[in-house]
Structure 1
C-alpha cells in the first residue's frame, strides 16, 4: 500500500512539473538569449516573426550600441549590421512580398525630416541587404513591399522640388527596381 501511495505521489509531482517544462521550452526570450551571449548589449527594439513560412519565428533585435542582430529559428545569433543610431528608436516593418516571402525593413528617422531605409531578405539563415535609400522628405511603405522615396531635387539656380522614386521587388532579378525620379 505504501508503494502505491508513493508511486501516485511521485507521478502527480512529475505530471505537475511537465506542463511547466513544456511551456518554458515553447517560450523563447530573444532578449535574454542575446544578453546572455553578449552581456554588454542591451536590446532597445525587438520583433519576432516567421520570415520564411516554416512556422518557426526568427527574432530581430537592435541594441543600444546600434547593432542589428538576427536570432534565426535554429537559435543562431547573427550580427547583421552596425551603426543603427537615430533621434528615435529604429522601427521594424515587415513587407509581404508574396505568400511565402517577407522582407524586413528598418527605418531610422532624423530631425527634421530625413528617413533612412534598409531592406533585407531572409536567405540561408541570415538577412541580406537588398535596398538602402534616404528620403530627405520621407519614405512611405506599403505592406505589399512597394516603397516610395520622397527626396529633394535641387535646382541649379537654388531651391528644390519634391521628387518621387518608387521601388518594387523584382523576383527574377532578385533586387528592388526603381522607377520614377530615382536619385543618381
Structure 2
C-alpha cells in the first residue's frame, strides 16, 4: 500500500511539474536572450508590444551602453541605433497611427528642458527611423499620434520666442509631415 501511494505521488508530482517546464521553455525572457548573445550588454529599459498585429510581441530594449535593440517575433535580435546617451532612462511611447500601423517613439530627456524624439516604423522585421527632432522647450505626443514640438526661436537682439511645430504621419508619403514653425 505504501509503495502504491508513493508511486501515485511521484507520478502526480512529475506530471504536475511538466506543464510548468513547457510554459517556461516556450516563454523567452527578452533581457536574458539579449544578455546571453551579448554578455557585456545590460538592459536598462525594455518594453514588449505587438507592433504588426500578428498577436506576437516584439521586444524593445535599450542597454546601459546606449544601444537600442529590437527582438522581433521570430526571436531575431536587430541593432537599431547606437549611442543613446541620456542622464535619465529613455522612454518608449507606442503610437497607434491606425488599426494597421503602430510606431515606436523614444524620448531622451536632457534636463532642465530639452527633449530629443526619435520615431520608428516597424517594417520587414526591423524598425526604420521616420522622424528625429529636438524640443528645446518640450515635445508632446498627442493621443491622435500627432507630435507637438516647442523650440526656442532665438532673436537677433538676444532672448528667444517659443516656436511651435506639429508633425502628423502621412501614410501615402510614408513620412511625418511638419507644419507651423519648423526648426531649422
TM over 0.5: yes
1:88-145 Cα offsets, whole Å, 9 max, x none, are: 1000000110112110000000122100000000000000000000000010002331
- 1:146 pairs with 2:110: no
Is the 1:95–1:142 Cα contact (8 Å) retained in structure 2? no
The whole-number CA distance in structure 2 between the counterparts of 1:88 and 1:55 is 32
Task: Map residues 38-77 of structure 1 onto 2, 5 A cutoff.
Answer: 38-77=38-77
Q: Report how far residue 26 of structure 1 moved.
A: 4.0
Distance in 2 between residues matched to 1:11 and 1:129, nearest whole Å? 54
Answer yes or no: is the 8 Å Cα contact 1:136–1:151 preserved in 2.
yes
Shift of 1:25: 3.3
Q: 1:32 to 1:155 in 2, by over 3 A?
A: same
Shift in CA distance, 143/26, structure 1 to aligned 2, threshold 3 Å: farther
1:122-173 deviation digits (Å, cap 9, x = unpaired): 0000000000000000100023311000000111222210000000000100
Q: Which residue of 1 aligns with 2:125?
A: 125
Residue aligning to 2:111: 111
* Structure 2: gaps spanning 5 or more residues: none
Give, in whole Å, the separation in 2 of the partners of 1:27 and 1:144.
Answer: 33
**Gaps (5+ residues) in structure 1?**
none
Shift of 1:5: 9.4
- Alpha-carbon distance, 1:12 to partner: 3.9
TM-score computed with the length of structure 2 as normaliser: 0.91
**What does 1:4-83 align with in structure 2 at a 5 Å threshold?**
12=12, 14-83=14-83
| Pairs aligned (count) | 181
Pick which of 138-147 and 164-173 moved more. Answer: 138-147
